[in-house]
Amino acid sequence: MTTTTLDFDTIKTQEYLVNMGPQHPSTHGVLRLVLKLEGEIVHNVDPVVGYIHSGIEKMCESLTYPQIPHLTDRMDYLSAHMNNEAVALCVENALQIEVPDRVKVIRTIMDELQRLASHQLWWCVMGMDMGALTTFFYGLRDRELILDIFEETCGARLTLNYSTPGGVMFDIHPNFQKRVKDFVKYFRAKLPEYNQLLSGNVIFRERTIGIGYLSKEDAIAWGVTGPSGRASGFACDVRKHHPYSAYDRVSFNEILRTEGDTYARYQARVDEMAESLDIIEQLIDNIPQGDHQVKMKGVIKLPEGEYYQRVETARGELGVFIVSDGKKNPYRVKFRSPGFSNLAALNHMSKGAKIADLVAIMSTLDLVIPDIDR
Amino acid sequence: MKAIFHYVNDIIKGLSTLVSGMAVTGHYFFRPKLITTQQYPENRSTLKMKERFRGEVIMPHDTNNHHRCTGCGICEMNCPNGSIEIITKMIETPEGKKKKVIDKHIYHLGMCTLCNLCIKACPTGAIVMGQNFEHAVWDRSKLTKVLNQPGSEIMTEVKE
């Protein structure tokens, strides 16, 4: 009997391809990732998008300008108000309409509430991806209060369609200010709970710190914006650098971190929640009096030309590009969605990581699939 | 020796973070009053939606079966996805004049995105948003509704 010695250096596992998704719970929707694996090590991630492509850009070409915002609700449904506002601002800039101060302040407060709601949901799901189901209940409990505020003022919880070209759909509800103040007070007390539950947890820290590193240069090169980009040190906050609505009259910090790993992206979002509360507190007591809507023409026609407007959604920079040929419908509409650009960097970030780490990395990118496919 | 110290230290630190997390969940476990879950559908009788809540488009009628719709078709024009169809008919008024009135205000709930543009555009306030949100039916054709009740007429005070 002969004994064979194994030379472990020459033994290689065969590379193989695995589909993750499109029906995988932690791809947050119908995103399909084709993974090239060696054992458990990810060598290549190839995202396949288009499973929930709804042709929103094309549909916009046959709609009038007041009708477009209601479709953008369905793009990034967790940042519905920012999407509405982006279209509204773009049309207003093209027509050179100055909306009343009241509209600007209401929009800014709604933006920040929406950002909080989005980050809360992200936080729940982040915990859930890591295997901590408890966080899901705590995040949704607080998000419910924001949705109640939306329901009272906007009439809907998710697809708000609140910002329209020339103003907002309704004036704020008489209870709005009281409810928002109550919420800010409530959530300030609850935010430490988030850190206590998840941020400090030893399992969570072990699984996130040092995973999925993205350098500042790479963030800029891949166009990673939003909290994911800012965690790598890329100062890309549109609210700070190109203020719109009432962001020029509030003071807040742009959350910048230098680590660029999964934990930094997590921390950037949690810190952003506190900043959002600050912004709401500065504005809620002094909402100026005035109209909630500018008198617009019955049929809105944009002058011939190209118009671009960007806003900061909860995920990053959303750009709206409208080409008008002077008719009541746009000639072409293009949305630069943050999710699509952020997803592009996934392959770069997750090379050499384990499959379980890939879930963590994807979770901190905060992907919303209809936003990617549009 | 140092390695063992770090090893034990890490375990103790790790356990303490777990305990601090458990403190939060334990806090709520012993205070069931702080739980905010709504017991739907048990609370259906007391559940009241907010007044602006957009559930479906409805056309309110008064006790004499009168509505406010003139059949102008502005809601149909403003609808982004063709959920509203207006069918009008010509009638002869007692004075002998011919007048266009609404025959059927057809509303496809299955296509509606509840964007509120029709209600915002309606010049006479004939349609409003209803609070009903339980729309599930077994047959898709039940989602197509005629909003004006049979035999209803326009209110006399509504100017065209």
Our count of domains for chain B comes to 2
Three-class SS of A219-266: HHHHCCCHHHHHCCCCCCCHHHHCCCCCHHHCCCCCCCCCCCCHHHHH
Q: A273-285: buried (b, 16+ CB within 10 Å) or exposed (e) per residue? A: bebbbbbbbbbbe
In DSSP terms, A33 is beta-bridged to A20, A47
Mean pLDDT by 10 residues, chain A (374 residues): 65 81 77 88 89 89 90 89 91 90 90 92 88 85 89 88 88 89 90 85 85 89 90 89 88 88 90 91 88 84 90 90 90 90 89 87 88 86
B99 and B150 assigned to the same domain = yes
In a domain, B62, yes or no: yes
B134 and B98 assigned to the same domain = yes
CA distance A275 to chain B (A): 24
B79 and B28 assigned to the same domain = no
CA distance A188 to chain B (A): 16
Interchain CB distance below 8 Å, B120 and A144: no
B28 and B71 assigned to the same domain = no
> Does the N-terminal peptide bond of residue B41 adopt cis geometry, omega within 30 degrees of 0?
yes
> Is B36 an 8 Å CB contact of chain A?
yes
* pLDDT score of B51 more than 60: yes
Q: Which two tokens stand for residue A51?
A: 């499973």
The CATH number assigned to the domain holding B99 equals: 3.30.70.3270
B29 and B108 assigned to the same domain = no
Of A134, A141, A152, the CB nearest to B52: A152
- Which residue out of A72, A193, A300 would a mutagenesis test of the B interface target, given it has the greatest number of B Cβ atoms within 10 Å? A193
Domain extent at residue B23: 2-34
B98 and B139 assigned to the same domain = yes
Which residues in chain B have Cβ-Cβ distances shorter than 8 Å to A299?
none
Search chain A and give the residue with CA nearest B13: A202
B67 and B25 assigned to the same domain = no
Rounded to whole angstroms, the Cα distance separating A288 from A212 reads 45
| Mean per-residue pLDDT, B33-42 | 78
* pLDDT score of B156 more than 80: no
B148 and B69 assigned to the same domain = yes
Which residues in chain B have Cβ-Cβ distances shorter than 8 Å to A198?
21
What is the bridge-based pairing of β-strands A167-168 and B56-58?
unpaired
Which residues in chain A have Cβ-Cβ distances shorter than 8 Å to B24?
138, 193, 196-197
- Write down the mean pLDDT value for chain B: 86
Q: Which domains does chain A have, with CATH numbers?
A: 16-373 (1.10.645.10)
In a domain, B44, yes or no: no
Which residues in chain B have Cβ-Cβ distances shorter than 8 Å to A66?
78, 117
The pLDDT score that the predictor gives to residue A200 is 81
Which residues in chain A have Cβ-Cβ distances shorter than 8 Å to B53?
151, 155-156
In a domain, B43, yes or no: no
The pLDDT score that the predictor gives to residue A31 is 87
Question: DSSP letter at A293?
Answer: B
Rounded to whole angstroms, the Cα distance separating A290 from A100 reads 7
B12 and B73 assigned to the same domain = no
Interchain CB distance below 8 Å, B50 and A161: no
In a domain, B51, yes or no: no
Interchain CB distance below 8 Å, A198 and B80: no
Q: Which two tokens stand for residue A259?
A: 């680590």
B22 and B66 assigned to the same domain = no
Of A74, A134, A148, the CB nearest to B25: A134
B107 and B66 assigned to the same domain = yes
In DSSP terms, B146 is beta-bridged to B106
> Is B129 an 8 Å CB contact of chain A?
yes
A96: number of Cβ within 10 Å: 7
In a domain, B67, yes or no: yes
Q: Which two tokens stand for residue A177?
A: 């200010």
- Long-range contacts from A245-248, C-beta under 8 angstroms, 24+ separation: A245/A85, A245/A89, A245/A104, A245/A105, A245/A107, A245/A108, A245/A111, A246/A101, A246/A104, A246/A105, A246/A107, A246/A108, A246/A283, A247/A108, A247/A279
CA distance B104 to chain A (A): 24
Question: Are A54 and A322 contacting, i.e. CB atoms less than 8 angstroms apart?
Answer: no
pTM for this predicted structure: 0.89
**Contacts (Cβ under 8 Å, ≥6 apart) of A250:** A108, A278, A279, A282, A283
The pLDDT score that the predictor gives to residue B159 is 67
ipTM for the predicted complex comes to 0.85
pLDDT, tens digit, for every residue of B98-133?
888 888 889 999 899 888 889 988 888 889 998 888
Which residues in chain A have Cβ-Cβ distances shorter than 8 Å to B122?
none
Q: Give the SS3 label for residue A306.
A: strand
B82 and B119 assigned to the same domain = yes
Rounded to whole angstroms, the Cα distance separating A118 from A195 reads 17
The pLDDT score that the predictor gives to residue B160 is 60
The pLDDT score that the predictor gives to residue A3 is 62
